[in-house]
Structures are given as C-alpha cells and as structure tokens.
Amino acid sequence: MLQVEILDPTEIKKAATIFYRDGFTIIQNALTVDQLVMAQSGAERVIAQQMKNIPLDQANRGYARYSFGSQVHHPEWAQLIDNPSILPILETIWNSSDFVCSGAGGDYSTPGAEIQPLHSDLGDFFNDSLGITTVKDVPTPFIVVNYLMVEFTQINGATRFVPGTHRTRTPIPTLEEEPKRFKQSFISAPAGTAIVRDVRCWHGGTPNVSNQIRPMLGIGYFAPWYRDSRFEPLLPLQLHQTLSNRAQHLSRFLVKHETSLN
C-alpha cells in the first residue's frame, strides 16, 4: 500500500502543495452522505446496464475492467461538477477560478480483473521536433477528480500511483519492467474520498480478487489556458439549467442544445 497523507477538504494549501510534489492529492469526506448515496445509486444503475450489454471479455479496458464513458448527462455525475469540497483546491492549484469542466465518467473493475499496466492519460500535445519542450514541462493542463464509491482495499482493484511522475520524461515501464514496489503502490481509502490527480501521473488498476465491483466516478477539468477535443456536448439543456450558476458556467461547453427541424 502506498503511504500517503489523507487530508480534510479544509486543508486547501497543503493539498495543493502535495499535488505539485506528487501529481495527486487525497481528500477524505469529499462528498456529503446524500451526494455519496446518489452517486452510488447512479453508478450501480449504469454498471448494470453496461454489463448486461458488454461481456467481461469484451470490456473496454481489458478483461473485467470497464470505463464508464461519458456520463455527464446523468444527475448523479452532474451533481459533482461544482463540489465545494474540491473547487477551492483546484482554484489554489491553478491560482484561478477560470478553469472549465471537460466531462464526467470514471471506471470500474469487476471480480477477475487483472493488474493494469501503468499509463498516463495525456499525450504530448507539443510535438516539438527538437525535443526541447514536452507536455511534462508545463503546469498541469488537465485534472481529474475521482470519487471512490466503495472502500479501496488491497484486494478489490484499488488504483495504484507512482508519485512524482507527472513531470518526468522517463518512459513508462511495461508491466514486465515494473519494480515490485510500483505494483504495490495502491491507494487505500474509504468511500466518499476524492483523488485529485494530474492526469500525466503514472497510474493503473490492480487485480480485483474480491467478490465486489470497484467503481469510481470521475469529473475532469481543463486548466484556464488549456483546451482539447475531449468536450462532448451531452449534458441536456434541461439538466444544465437545474445546476448552480457556478456549475452551469463550468460545464458550458458540455451542453447539448436541441436543434430545430423547422
């Protein structure tokens, strides 16, 4: 298990400092009881729908390992866009409130999922032919906040992280090349915890040898200075209008506007 400090939502500056150093920070009690129950209900519903249609051996992240895909059109995900436990931390990391929500999703592994190779969620968008500047040389362009729907343990497929790899140019090792300590660097934390992560940081799933599904929801945010093609306008206008003013502003690029056939 990775030894990490788990912070309260009020420890904003400390959370940002750890994020800069490690590429992620862990926030306990990031959801209210009502938020967690609602999120768990949505996750259970979507998981049941997806697994009914997609067999374990056809899961999109390897055997028994699924990505939720875009789920921002569901209120269980949309409720998390303007989470007051997390937004102040993002504002401190970026020294700005002008970031935007890039979408919502997450992943889950079911019993039988094997270890997932380490990976980063953002490629090098600079493509500098001289190799002088890479995506690892700039402040974090893209943060994902993952919300744990169940307790993450040693046996149920908890996510593992390699601290400090969000700014390294070292190639990501293959599963065969990984040192043993990387394979054991999983996060153990209770349901309702948030992992605020720089998507460049190396991470991967661990084997799920339990008898439970291990889901986590995710909300993405782009830095004030960064945009890419990940925006999917799937948030129904009617749902968007029920959100707070802050959430509406954050998710303005995700709104699905109905087109007229007249």
Q: Is residue 190 part of a domain?
A: yes
Q: What is the DSSP letter of 27?
A: E
Q: Is residue 261 part of a domain?
A: no
Q: Is residue 175 part of a domain?
A: yes
Q: What pLDDT tens digit does each residue of the chain (262 aa) get? A: 999 999 999 999 999 999 999 999 999 999 999 999 999 999 999 999 999 999 999 999 999 999 999 999 999 999 999 999 999 999 999 999 999 999 999 999 999 999 999 999 999 999 999 989 999 999 999 999 999 999 999 999 999 999 999 999 999 999 999 999 999 999 999 999 999 999 999 999 999 999 999 999 999 999 999 999 889 999 999 999 999 999 999 999 999 987 645 4
The two most distant CA atoms of the chain are separated, in Å, by: 62
Q: Is residue 17 part of a domain?
A: yes
CATH number assigned to the domain comprising residue 217? 2.60.120.620
- Full residue range of the structural domain in which residue 35 is found: 6-238+248-255
Task: Report how many domains make up the chain.
Answer: 1
> Which residues make beta-bridge pairs with 160?
186, 204
Q: Is residue 260 part of a domain?
A: no
Residue 259 has what pLDDT? 64
Residue 229 has what pLDDT? 85
Q: Is residue 169 part of a domain?
A: yes
Q: Round to whole Å and give the CA distance between 91 and 237.
A: 26
Q: Is residue 61 part of a domain?
A: yes
Q: Is residue 262 part of a domain?
A: no
Q: How far is CA 131 from CA 46, 86, 124, 135, 137, in A?
A: 43, 35, 11, 11, 11
For the stretch 172-205, what's the b/e string if a residue is b when 16 or more beta carbons lie within 10 angstroms of its beta carbon? Answer: eeeeeebeeebeebbbbbebbbbbbbbbbbbbbb
